[in-house]
Amino acid sequence: MTDFTVIDFFCGAGGFSEGFRQQGFKIVAGIDSWKPAIDTFNFNFGLTCETSNILQFATSIKRIEELPDTDIILGSPPCVSFSSSNKSGKADKSLGLKLTKIFLRIVAVKKYKPKSRLKAWFMENVTNSKVHLPREYSFEQLGLSSWALEHNYDPKSIAVSLENNRSVLNAANYGAPQSRVRVFSGEIIKAKKHITPAPTHQQPDQNEALPKHRTLEFIRKNLPSPISLRSDDLITDPIYPNVKIKTSELTDQFYDTGLYKADWEGSKFLKTNHPYMGFMFFPEREDRPSRTVTATKIGNSREAIVLRSEGNRIGDGEYRTLTVREAATLMGFPITYQFIGSEGNKWKLVGNAVCPPISRAFAKEVRKEYKLGESTEHFPVKPLDTVPNLNTFHRKVFDNPPKKKKGTRFRRHPFKDGNLTVTLSNYDIEEKSSDKLKWRTSVQYGTGEGFPVQKFSDGNFKKLEKIIVGFENGIEFIEMINNGFSNKIADAEKLQLMYENQQNQGEYLNPIDLVDTIGKIINSFEIKSPNYEQKGNYPLTYKKIVPKKQLMALYAIKKICSVANGGTNE
């Protein structure tokens, strides 16, 4: 153990601090306004911190001075407003800028005060923060003009520089089984610069003398299955081989995270067939580090990490999300680390954390610079009787299918081909509005904003049929749509109700299954010459060479709308 002490701002679950503790530093305080975070921090570090809002340090230097003078200052200001995924990168950045500025204000006071004890400071944020944060802050910009003059510093001089004091790091390169890229800023005072830790792991195609990245498959194989029976057998931490505990002491792992079929199918569509975003694997590829663990446990989203379940389920429960313990291990927390709160709170604590393996790498650099020698890593096991544990050792009963809100919008296409999508929707995609319940057919040319959208009225099939009958198997396709598929199309209101309930009714298919069935029918035909050259601008206004599959999809989706809306079927 070293005498070097650490204070952690926006401490959350304590991932930043955990890496330093593993290297022998003493964690003395955590600052966070969220009670589950402080409860978790206190439990793991044996502290009694109270919730505290960092905004109190925005104007009061006295309160900054009352904070413990520590050797290390850590901070990870909330990054959601900087993230490019938040409101497509258009979120208000002002709060993120303000919180970061307050943190750096604290760093400046502690660094430049007389007889400063500060040895290093580090800050973590999303990579997009580099675009929005200034390159440097003067004392004046940090609201420290009077303080600077009092301590013989020019208020306009640079107090904190970020431009040359940061590095973009991937947690997978430091031993976490997760691809998580973040920007780390900071400075080791003795070195008068930021020192980027050397990676400890490498990609499979690299030839350095380093271990390869840990993978999602490695973690699944080295943690007990969530459907395991109770046992007192010893298990070894997949990341920290000197950590061994009884299986019965492994919290938040033995419970069923299986997904309803409606949810995992929604995730699958968004990953593999999104209207305008790229392809993602479903289920996850396990021969590489996992994708970034997020702070929200959602099984029906594009960003959800979805795995094939253990066991032999088909449909409901066939796929599942991560357990909290699996997510924490992917972040690089030891299996002895505990999270306090509900399942949702635990997910937020894990997904918002700093990966301990990267934090530990920075801690090693501090030890090296101050010649502290090698550290004996230690992983204390806390009593578990007060930990709210998610373990149930029971299989989930799928008796409460998810439902969507009344009037929920629907949009789906069978496939993307030729930079086109043929879409069934219950609202006007171009205008993003609907005045009444009506099912609509449209074609999107290209992806994203600015590309044309062509809308189609119901009925008027004869002209389109004359084109399709010339395709290989075109006549058979038209007969299948009219003499079997059409009988599965309900009226508009029933179609909407089935979508909201996410289930079929009698012989009728819900709109998701209707569109997916179209894709399966079309893909069952062999089409040797895939494209059709239009004469004029019919049926697609903005395209001359059209995939035959898309014209077949247009015919079938127009059929859905015509039948559902009570129009002509001719």
Which residues are marked as active site? 79
Judge contact between 309 and 321, C-beta under 8 A. no
- Pairwise CA distance, residues 257 & 511, whole Å: 27
Judge contact between 467 and 521, C-beta under 8 A. no
Burial of 282 (0-12, 13-18, 19+ CB in 10 A): buried
Torsion sign over Cα 107, 112, 114, 118 = positive
Reading the block at residue 92, the tokens are 């208000």
Reading the block at residue 393, the tokens are 């050792």
- Pairwise CA distance, residues 277 & 70, whole Å: 46
- What phi, psi does 209 have (nearest 5°)? -85, 60
For residue 313, give the amino acid letter: R
- Pairwise CA distance, residues 83 & 513, whole Å: 34
For residue 189, give the amino acid letter: I
Q: Which of 504, 499, 518 is nearest to 559 (CA)?
A: 518
Torsion sign over Cα 328, 332, 338, 340 = negative
The SS3 assignment for 344 reads helix
Reading the block at residue 217, the tokens are 């498959």
- Pairwise CA distance, residues 395 & 316, whole Å: 12
- Pairwise CA distance, residues 32 & 29, whole Å: 10
| C-alpha separations of 273 from 270, 277, 297, 406, 527 in Å | 6, 8, 22, 25, 21
In the block, tokens 């909407």 appear at: 496
Vertex 97: Cα angle to 92 and 102 (nearest 5): 145
Judge contact between 423 and 445, C-beta under 8 A. no
Judge contact between 358 and 174, C-beta under 8 A. yes
Reading the block at residue 396, the tokens are 């989930």
Judge contact between 317 and 259, C-beta under 8 A. yes
Distance of CA 156 to the CA centre of its chain: 40
Judge contact between 299 and 264, C-beta under 8 A. yes
* Exposure on the CB side of residue 310, measured as CA atoms within 13 A: 16
Judge contact between 49 and 41, C-beta under 8 A. yes
Quickly list H helices, 296-342: 324-331
The SS3 assignment for 58 reads coil
Q: Which of 196, 64, 46, 184 is nearest to 126 (CA)?
A: 184
- Pairwise CA distance, residues 326 & 64, whole Å: 38
